[in-house]
Amino acid sequence: MVRRTAALVLAIGVVVLGAAAPAQAHNSLVSSTPEVGSTITELPQAFSVTTNETLLDLSGDGAGFAMQVKDTDGAYYGDGCYSIVDATLSMGATLGEAGDYTLLWQVVSADGHPVSGEFDFTWAPAAGIEPSAGSPTPPSCGGEASGPVSTNAPREHANANLSDVLWIGGAIIAVAVAALIAFLVIGRRRRTTT
């Protein structure tokens, strides 16, 4: 009986871990504006990163999401207002003088884990384009802009995937069943030893 119970607990564990494997895959970057390592000559409407899965913004306030654009002197650009739409995080774009910039980003994966990265790009505007003034600190949405700012789409929010909810519910049920089985085995063992 003990062997059958142990085998049942092991089987439940394998099922739970097998179901958890797909849910543990973190989002990964699939595209961006500007593109990684590119040279841009026109200011984009927005800086953006797009991942392979929908982003998770359960709070609806963008907590856990961030994007910063910095030049080689450490000055920050962009408007600091994030838009989260499906698998894309974006922010209104501003840039200063021609040169090299770094875009840093952080998102919350569909599995609930934060994922971040960074990449470089080069800004080579045509003559006559007025550069924006950089900021010594990351810009905050609603603060004063330091130059012309591109507008971006209104904020939309991603919902939790049904598969995530089912996986969490299944894991809770599996743990409860395993606890019940352990309780029954311990109770039976005590009765047979007395």
The per-residue pLDDT for range 60-109, each reduced to its tens digit, is 888 889 999 999 999 999 999 999 999 999 999 999 999 999 999 999 99
Same domain, 71 and 43: yes
What gap in Å lies between CA 67 and CA 69, rounded to an integer?
7
Same domain, 7 and 78: no
Same domain, 172 and 113: no
Same domain, 180 and 124: no
Same domain, 104 and 175: no
Same domain, 156 and 168: no
pLDDT at 138: 95
Same domain, 93 and 17: no
What gap in Å lies between CA 39 and CA 121, rounded to an integer?
6
pLDDT at 145: 42
Same domain, 41 and 118: yes
Range of the domain at 99: 26-160
Q: Under a CB-based contact definition with an 8 Å cutoff, are residues 76 and 93 in contact?
A: no
Matching residue, tokens 């394998």: 14
Same domain, 8 and 92: no
Number of separate domains in the chain:
2
**Which of 24-33, 76-85, 177-186 has the lowest average pLDDT?**
177-186
- ∠ CA 20-108-36, nearest 5°, is 115
- ∠ CA 105-109-115, nearest 5°, is 40
